Amino acid sequence: MENKILVLMAISLNCLLLQATVDSKTLQKDSLFVEVPEDGKLTDAKGDVRPATATTNVAFIDLTEMTVTVTDNNITVTITVADLPDQFTYNQARPGQLEYWWQIFFDIDNNSKKSADDLLLDLVHVRKPETQEAQGALLEFAKPSFHIIEEAHGTGFHSGRFLGEENINATVSENTIIFSVDKSSHLKLNKITSSTKVRFEAQYIDSSNNSFSDSYPNAQPQFSAGDTKSSSIYPEI
């Protein structure tokens, strides 16, 4: 009898440990933010751009691998996509609207939500009024910047830019966008550490106002075309 009780206790303990592991994986999968592993690498499934029925080639926002490296002095982020073309067609979206963007959110308050005081590093292009459709390499028209979220509401947010392209080294290597920022550029950057959770998003809006997006983790919410225009990320637009 004593042996049976010990066996049952062992089985129960194993079940609890297994459940804890499953719950942990589920939370990681369904969370809006994730922890950065020790090697700094995060991997997203290829071919999961939304909507799944998209006929437009949007491989340039199909996230596949991301890395985050944070030291006492520097923040380096890489975003690799399925295919980053040498030339883009831009200024097809409506004037004043975000057209292309790749973003990484830093969960400063560790609440796994986009909220006030979280930080955002991005590479974006907004079509300015009276500009014409054009073609060019990505960094000829899309510019990097750092923001602080001032107010979050629903799936959108308002933010203020505190660093521009003059303080952010952005480069492209094959299918990878690379950011490097010196922490001495702004005091706010010291809030980002190697334990800060992150979220990646990429989105494109075409000439017919169709929105395509990918994110890691894949948990919702995602911006809609309407949200992006109302955001105060770019107050000069």
* Amino acid identity, position 170: A
233 versus 146: which is more confidently predicted?
Answer: 146
The sheet that has 119-126: what strands, in order across it? 156-163, 143-153, 119-126, 98-107, 197-205, 211-216
The full set of domain ranges for the chain reads: 31-230
pTM: 0.81
Contact (Cβ atoms closer than 8 angstroms) between residue 12 and residue 173: no
pLDDT of residue 153: 78
pLDDT of residue 220: 59
Beta strands in 40-97 (DSSP E): 41-43, 63-70, 74-81, 88-90
End-to-end CA distance of the chain: 77
What share of the chain in percent tops pLDDT 90? 70
* Mean pLDDT for the stretch of residues 123-137: 96
Q: How far apart are CA 50 and CA 166, in angstroms?
A: 33
Q: Which residue has the tokens 């602080």?
A: 148
* Amino acid identity, position 217: P
Q: How far apart are CA 116 and CA 109, in angstroms?
A: 9
Predicted confidence (pLDDT) at residue 25 exceeds the cutoff of 90: no
Predicted confidence (pLDDT) at residue 14 exceeds the cutoff of 90: no
